[in-house]
Amino acid sequence: MGKMAAAVSSVATLATEPGEDAFRKLFRFYRQSRPGTADLRGVIDFSTAHAGRSTSPGTQKVVRSQLSVSSVSEHNAHRAGLRPVSKWQAYGLEGYPGFIFIPNPFLPGYQWHWVKQCLKSYSQKPNVCNLDKHMTEAEPRDLWGQSKGLLRCKELNKRRPRSLLEKLRWVTLGYHYNWDSKKYSADHYTPFPSDLAFLSEQVAAACGFQGFRAEAGILNYYRLDSTLGIHVDRSELDHSRPLLSFSFGQSAIFLLGGLKRDETPTAMFMHSGDIMVMSGFSRLLNHAVPRVLPNPEGEGLPHCLETPLPAVLPKDAVVEPCSVEDWQVCASYLRTARVNMTVRQVLAKGQDFPLEPMEDNKGDVTTEDFCHLDDQDNQVKRARLNLDS
């Protein structure tokens, strides 16, 4: 208890910067935190959580969340690489109705598929990414092909140039989010990946949202020095449907706040395989990622990623085999990185996008300038732009 109290005390004694709100103060505290110290004692770890217990002074009580076990067959769960829903653990937080946290419900080895998809498949055209502005329309975008050689020799050559995959910060799927206008539109759409849509539909149904349609996705690619600024996901036109979040790779700290930024947020760990669902009251809450945590055992992978994908998969599985060579590239990347997939339903059933007048382009403004994801390579941008708005 002494170490837990020390963590709370450390936050309390952190000097408040001019104009700084409660959320930003805690964001700054965890961004500067030191793994292995009392700094992280106030962070909820759902992988070891017990319903009805507060993990430390000042944190919210963990409660058990009920799942709709009958809504997802064991066969469909297996097709997506998930354990039967009856085997999942699901938690919520007192004071955050609609927030559901599911610690790694994936079958052993099946995370390999989703990691490979994020790096090898979803990063390709016609999907949109932050690197597009550096490439011509005619130039093929093969980030995987141009990066796999460099990533395979990563351990042998520490001074090698960064691969394109290591420069990747975000990818959008389906209805492509416009970072300038902060809107979606009917004319900026490419087909949503069918495997990710199926996975999302099963998770949503298990959480009581039958009929969920995966229409837009934002994938964020984090290095160890990356952060995700304080924001609210309100651009979707239908807020009655949940926001789904899937994490893979190194662990991170996630902050879930209130409707206003002067409410102190709750901190929790996100480990590889964890799924978060934000719905109802929690759908429009402020949230952020102030810190990606290096593996305490050095540049290694989380233990749940050490088990290979089974050689024999269900005949109708949406999951595909992953070769040893492909996983070597993925593993090399993830030793110092984290990938997060967020999936949303943009429109209600039968709803259309509103007609809007055409706007002039804003000259030298680029999509990358407005991306939430930030790291040490963006020091100039951080000083020039308010990335948290």
- Which residues define the annotated binding site for Fe cation? 231, 233, 287
Q: Are 378 and 229 in contact (CB under 8 A)?
A: no
Tokens matching residue 27: 């964001």
**Residues annotated in a binding site:** 231, 233, 287
